[in-house]
A = this chain, B = another copy of it.
Amino acid sequence: MDVKEVLFMNKGDGENSYAQNSPFTQRVIELSKPVLESAVQSLFGEEVIWNKVFNVADLGCASNASTFSVMSSVIENVQKKCVELNAPIPEFQLYLNDLPGNDFNTLFKGLSSFADRYNDASLFMMGAPGSFYGRLFPTNSLQLVHSSYGVHWLSKVPKLTDEAGLPLINKGKIFISKTSPVAVKEAYLRQFEEDFSLFLKSRSQEMVPNGRLVLVFNGRPSADFTRDYCYPIPWESLSEAIAAMVSEGLIQEEKLDSFNVPVYAPSQKELKGIVSKEGSFELEQLETFPINFGDKNLSDKLFKNMRSVTESMISHQFGEEILDKLYDKFTQISIEDMATNEEYKVLSFLVVLRRKATDH
């Protein structure tokens, strides 16, 4: 599976689209706003802001309105602070990034009503298609980078091999599970280390000294690898739903065994280790915030969101014809599972990193 080609949020603005079904991402962005605002304020203290153009990137923006909410927050905070300081307001160049398979058409449709709200400002909106596991922007060009619910997606499915380097099967599972071999867990961690280091290195080249990188993503509450309950997608339930369809003869067993999802939530310790080892950034802030996901108000929309996020990969592996049945089963298993699990929470990390002023 080529993640770059296969991973994208559902397109358009129809019933199963991501644009219509991302209440969770929107909630996360609301929760992280105060931290984003304070990161913007910090830029003023260090005079990072005093360029004629303020360049901001939102990485992994998908196609819903959340990215506009982030950009609003940045613009309004810069404007407010400039007025306070009696300083000229810079022009804004706002880069919206996602993989080339993202639905940029739907994203760009929302642009004009966004820009209309700021017709007193000089706003230049750009789409920046490409993988953030690599360079996206010119050297030394960005003051602020934001990414919400992006970096827990890996650049590829980890290569699963045992200690002797032989191919390993994650039998009947699609992710790190209680029954997965230890080598599976280690392969996921290694892939995350490699990806996140490359992410930091790429950003360090693109960002100005003292620029701020604000990241929100899934984090793990403890050292335990198999805690399924830190993701907004219950991967264990999805795995069970696929396995049930294997039992019914609707999906081939080999197709299940050869499918693993490219996602990983690090622990705090793992995260700090990678940041420190890569060396370009200083960790300014690390907050964890759990969002209760298992309450009785689980809406239809939430399950549609899970579908809009996972459908591109699932249909690529198993075909389109099984989608409706699979997602019905998945919803049913998840609801039962959540009902018996009091502590069903999604855990997010909110991290502010400062680009060091000198290279290491």
Give, as a whole number of angstroms, the nearest-CB distance from A271 to chain B.
28
- Report the Cα distance A135→B124, complex, angstroms: 8
Q: Are A52 and B128 in contact (CB under 8 A)?
A: no
Main secondary structure of the interface of A (DSSP, over half): mixed
Collect the chain B residues with CB atoms within 8 Å of residue A135's CB.
122, 124
State the oligomeric state as a number of copies: 2
Q: Is the CB of A127 within 8 A of B124?
A: no
A68 to chain B, nearest CB (A): 13
A124 near B100 with CB under 8 A, answer no
A100: contacting residue among B53, B111, B136, B137, CB under 8 A: B111
Q: What residues on B are CB-neighbors of A122 within 8 Å?
A: 135, 138-139
Given the known inter-chain contacts A126-B128, A137-B124, please indicate yes or no for A100 contacting B91, CB distance below 8 A.
no
Partner of A104, one of B53, B108, B138: B108
B95, B137, B138: the one within 8 Å of A52 (CB):
B138
Which residues from B are CB-within-8-Å of A4?
A: 112
Chain B residue contacts of A127, Cβ below 8 A? 104, 108, 126-129
Does A130 make an interface contact (CB < 8 A)?
A: yes
The residues of B that contact A35 with a CB separation of less than 8 Å are none
B126 touches A111 (CB 8 A): no
Contact call A100/B109, Cβ cutoff below 8 A: yes
Q: Is A236 an interface residue (CB 8 A)?
A: no
With A126-B128, A127-B127, A127-B129: A139-B52 Cβ-Cβ less than 8 Å:
yes
A125 CB-CB contact with B under 8 Å: yes
**Which listed residue, B53, B91, B111, touches A129 by the CB 8 Å rule?**
B111
CB distance from A90 to the nearest CB of B (A): 9
User: Cβ of A297 < 8 Å from any Cβ of B?
Assistant: no
Q: Is the CB of B112 within 8 A of A100?
A: yes
Chain B residues within 8 Å of A125, by CB: 128-130
Interface residues of A in 237-288 (CB under 8 A from B): none
CB-contacts of A81-135 with B (<8 A) = 91, 93, 95, 100-101, 103-105, 108-109, 111-112, 122, 124-130, 135
A268 CB to closest chain B CB (Å) equals 33
Is A141 located at the chain interface by the 8 A CB criterion? yes
Return chain B residues, CB-CB under 8 Å to A95: 126
Q: How far is the CB of A306 from chain B (nearest CB, A)?
A: 23
Q: How far is B135's CA from A135's CA once the two chains are assembled, in angstroms?
A: 27
Q: Which residues of B are found within 8 Å of A91, using beta-carbon distances?
A: 138-139
Please name all residues of chain B whose beta carbon is closer than 8 Å to the beta carbon of A140 when the two chains form the complex.
52
Q: Enumerate chain B residues within 8 angstroms of A109, measured Cβ to Cβ.
A: 100-101
Known: A126-B126, A129-B125, A136-B124. A141 touches B103 (CB 8 A): no
In the bound assembly, the distance between CA atoms of A139 and B53 in angstroms comes to 8
A201 to chain B, nearest CB (A): 15
Cβ of A104: which chain B residues have Cβ within 8 Å of it?
104-105, 108, 127
A128 neighbours in B (Cβ, 8 Å): 124-127
A–B Cβ pairs within 8 angstroms, 9 of them: A93-B137, A100-B108, A100-B111, A103-B105, A104-B104, A111-B129, A124-B128, A125-B130, A126-B128
Q: Which 8 A-B pairs have the closest CB atoms?
A: A127-B127, A108-B129, A100-B108, A53-B138, A126-B126, A104-B104, A91-B138, A105-B105
